[in-house]
Amino acid sequence: MKDMSTRRRRYMTMKKAIKNHAAAKSDADARMEIVASVTPTAGRRTLYHFTRLGNLTAIAASDSLVSSGSMSPYLAGERRTSPMKVRYDRHLVTVNAHLRIPESMMEPDCTLEQFRAYLDRHVFFWPTQRDCQKMLSTYTRREPEEKFAVLSFDAASLLLDHYDAVKLSKYDSGSSPRYPKHCSYKKSPNMFVDLDHYKIKVNGYIPTKASEIREVLIENRVDRITSFLQGVHTDDSRDVPSCWRSLSKPLSGLLNG
């Protein structure tokens, strides 16, 4: 009788393990399906991160991208009116200024300070080459003396690896619209959707299909970036850190591509 009870316990334990394995496999398959729906075409299978050339050394040394809020939490919500240097590990890193967003663009329950603090807790990526081109062209005109760089990543593997930290936006969240009264949306954390609720949650402000995704955000930091890195785009390949030299690509290829 005792042997039968022991065998039954072993059987139930094995059955539970098989069930848990099946559930985990199902969850992994569901995640892969969602990521595939975010990256359905060749033009959306790369994510682009825009940065300043001077930041590449720190990024390569840490093999990570870190949100500005993680590097300077004491400035949470405070508007940066110009680019600011902050210390990260052993390096100085320049973080971009905040554009001035009109109060009229904000949801009633979200202040500008709260929204800036929310944005600063994320690392930003552009989902298409065209979106990245716009960012690059804007900053090149705004700061003609500055040099910039773009890191390009395999979108699917990056999104899967950071799945729980990913958010999607239908709009350029940090922008300052030229005609705010004519905008059809308001700014707040409600304009972002996580991957699990993509195509499920609908409020008119968030993307429901890949072609509507304008930004991809990852909360706090992205680690082991070399494993996802496809290209380091600069004006001069000699400016690329030696560990990434084989991935060097001309920045002009993004501007003119």
Q: What is the pTM of this model?
A: 0.88
Average pLDDT over residues 74-84: 84
Q: Is the pLDDT of residue 257 over 70?
A: no
List pLDDT tens digits, range 179-231: 878 888 899 999 999 999 998 877 888 999 999 999 999 999 999 999 999 99
Q: Is the pLDDT of residue 76 over 90?
A: no
Q: Among candidates 99, 71, 95, 68, which has minimal Cα distance to 83? A: 95
Predicted confidence at residue 158, as pLDDT, reads 98
Residue 156 CB-half CA count within 13 A: 13
Q: Domain limits of the chain?
A: 1-38, 41-256
List pLDDT tens digits, range 128-156: 999 999 999 999 999 999 999 999 999 99
Torsions phi, psi of 238, nearest 5? -70, -15
Average pLDDT, the chain: 89
List pLDDT tens digits, range 101-111: 999 999 999 99
Predicted confidence at residue 48, as pLDDT, reads 98
Q: Is the pLDDT of residue 14 over 60?
A: no
What is the rounded distance in angstroms from the CA atom of residue 115 to the CA atom of residue 113? 5
